[in-house]
Structure 1
Amino acid sequence: WNRQNGLGKAFDSSTGFKLPNGATRSPDVSWIKIERWNALTPEQRKRFLPLCPDFVIELVSESDDLADTQAKMREYIANGLRLGWLINPKNKQVEIYRQNQEIEVLESPTSLSGED
């Protein structure tokens, strides 16, 4: 999808972000609008990216604490995240985080939409 439309830049968990609150985070999957990527200097692109992603996916693994991961998702939202998916394979739930909205919980969804 992202390669076809070229609207943004996708990253895996090896990419770190320095959030506006100073926290450093490396989501499992992240995406930023191409305009935001293009606004970064070559030096900024080589380090922890000094921004909050527009979209993240966090996958709850067996070793993760659900409450800690939920807190991380709330932190992303507080720092400008537009959309986040917290995927919990153990209980087959997806929590959807959006700016200025309540968290939506989906039970055993068969598909997800990136919305706008």
Structure 2
Amino acid sequence: MIASTLAPQISEVFSLEDWMQNPPDRKEWVDGQLVEKNGMTLKHSRIQAKLSTYWRNYKDSSGQGGEVYTEVPCRTNKQGRYPDVAYLTPELLAQFGEPAVLPQSFPLIAEIVSPTDFAEEVIAKAQEYLQSGCHEVWLVFPDNRWIIVITQNQRLVFISDEVVSTQTVLQGFSVAVDELLA
């Protein structure tokens, strides 16, 4: 009889605090697990780049200041996330600087919905952001050509041939849905 010499594999425990100190690239901390963000397509990446450029140009031209980021880590009340596009107000930038991980949600966040995303999970993520310091979330559905804007008090749907605009953060910004998703 041959005894097995294989030891059981023990997976390293990775806490939210560990994630906050050194967040792995493209891995969110969700319900105690590291979850890789996947499903990004060329279309997803193009829309992400366009929206971040539009927000950046608008915050500069309007004099509102702050910073726009892509794929940047933040902590919600219970998870570690990487929003696709995020805007940080000048006030919060002065308060926090630029830590490795923002210790709260960004005030304005956009999630570009990938073909592998489930609608209920994306909506739950938007609610999570809003419960953690975010004031406005954009859920961008490229294939359906919908943009859902969610704040604490309202949910608005913008479709093809309409113009989507910010509601509470980065005041005055707007873009045609077709232009953003083209």
TM (normalized to structure 2)? 0.55
Given the alignment, which residue of 31, 55, 60 partners 2:113? 60
Q: Which runs of 5+ in 1 are unaligned?
A: none
Given the alignment, which residue of 4, 16, 19 partners 2:73? 16
Residue 87 (structure 1) aligned with residue 140 (structure 2): yes
- The size of the alignment, in residue pairs, is 110
Q: Which runs of 5+ in 2 are unaligned?
A: 1-57, 172-182
Distance across 2 between alignment mates of 1:104 and 1:35: 27
Structure with more relative contact order (C-alpha pairs < 8 Å, separation 6 or more): 1
Question: How far does residue 6 in structure 1 lie from its aligned partner after superposition?
Answer: 4.5
Greater Rg, structure 1 or structure 2? Answer: 2
Q: Write 1 or 2 for the structure with the bigger share of helix.
A: 2
**Partner of residue 88, structure 2:** 32
Distance across 1 between alignment mates of 2:70 and 2:161: 23
* Paired amino acid for 1:34: P
SS in 2 for 1:2: helix
Identity of paired residues, percent?
Answer: 24
RMSD of equivalent CA atoms: 1.6
**Does the 8 A contact of 2:147 with 2:164 survive in 1?**
no
TM (normalized to structure 1)? 0.84
SS in 2 for 1:74: helix
